[in-house]
Amino acid sequence: MATGGTGGHIYPAVATARELQRRGYEVTLLGQLGGMEERVAQDSGLAFHGVVAGKFARSASGLDPRQALRAARGLAQARSFLNRTRPGVVVGYGGFASLPGVLAAQSLGIPTVLHEQNARLGLTQRLALRRARAVGTAYPDVAGLPAGRGTLVGMPVREEWLLRQEATQRLGLQEGPLTVFVMGGSQGSVALNSAVPGVLREVLGEAGLSPDDGVQVLHSTGPRWLSDVLPEVQNLGWYKAVGYVDSVAAWSAADLAITRAGTGTLAEAAFYGVPVVMVPLPSSAEDHQRFNARAVEAAGAGRLVEQEAMSRSLGSVVLECLKKETRASMREAALRRSPQGAASRLADLAESHFRS
């Protein structure tokens, strides 16, 4: 599993790895030495091999020579590892940290399968596309992917859930009120952390929606930003801010979520049937988060709010989505997008190209 960088690339690799392990395969995560993927692999009990990785610049000045050198070193390290272990297949999940493993495999004649999580084909996947045996996708249509090259498998997620009572108990929340889950990705979002508490304090307060009246908020700020958010919400009994949250419990308890628009987050929302108010990251690579959000909105499972419009329109969108009829309709649409079984389908695709 060649992966790394962000949770959106790492967690589907972990989900697929577990499925392949259940089928009797040995699986190793190959990613950036010291990256988030190394910690996740250790926490998940998966073998990990780290290499250096050069990050591609997306500016007119091109790739920093130092990053080019790192990329070359990482490719050589990955090639040495793969030449020694000779895996049957390498699955690449996108992101700069996945590229050494995928390109090294292709240089050695090892079959490669790509998984594209977004509604637009990413740069690293484009670089590996020509020699890839297959491409699994999370969306029916992927901009930049030639017709006939993709196989829809969905976005592999951790397929576990809790009863609401257990989920709210784990999180220290009340069971009865509607729960709004705010989450800006695995590392948190400064923009959401800055804007959402004030917006929700204003609109929910004006609407009289305290926990006694039916609403509470769980906000995962990212560990780095918790101290910035706590002063804003510490006097609000219905607003709980935490640095990191058990995602299974949080999604199991949530009735509505305010998130970025990474595919991993949106796939989890769909699996749990949670409507989403999406604020795409404006600087996401090739604007892929906006493509993702538009696809979810078109399916009826979420609403898109531009980052620059949060102060003007986020509150009214949240209030609309909290209405019983709207939530019910969006929940049904979300469940129709559920990625349940995606890890198994991607494992099937990888197996079909396995070199014995």
- Residue whose token pair is 């949530």: 254
Residues with Cβ within 8 Å of 234's Cβ and at least 6 positions away in sequence, in order, are none
Contact assessment for residue 299 and residue 312, using Cβ atoms and an 8 Å cutoff: no
Task: Specify the amino acid at residue 109.
Answer: G
Nearest to 82 by CA among 99, 98, 105: 105
336 is in an annotated binding site: no
237 is in an annotated binding site: no
Residue 50 pairs in a beta bridge with 31
Contact assessment for residue 61 and residue 28, using Cβ atoms and an 8 Å cutoff: no
Nearest-5° Cα angle at 56, 54 to 57: 130
85 is in an annotated binding site: no
Give the C-alpha separation, 170 to 33, whole Å: 33
Kindly state the tokens that stand for 124. 């690293």
289 is in an annotated binding site: yes
Give the C-alpha separation, 92 to 291, whole Å: 21
186 is in an annotated binding site: yes
Contact assessment for residue 212 and residue 247, using Cβ atoms and an 8 Å cutoff: no
42 is in an annotated binding site: no
Task: Specify the amino acid at residue 245.
Answer: V
Give the C-alpha separation, 195 to 154, whole Å: 32
Residues 80-116: b if buried by 16+ CB within 10 A, e if exposed: ebbeeeebebbbbbbbbbbbbbbbbbbeeebbbbbbb
23 is in an annotated binding site: no
Q: Which stretches of 111-247 are assigned E, i.e. beta strand?
A: 112-116, 134-137, 150-152, 178-183, 215-220, 239-242
Q: Indicate the annotated binding residues.
A: 6-8, 118, 158, 186, 289
| Binding-site entries for UDP-N-acetyl-alpha-D-glucosamine | 6-8, 118, 158, 186, 289
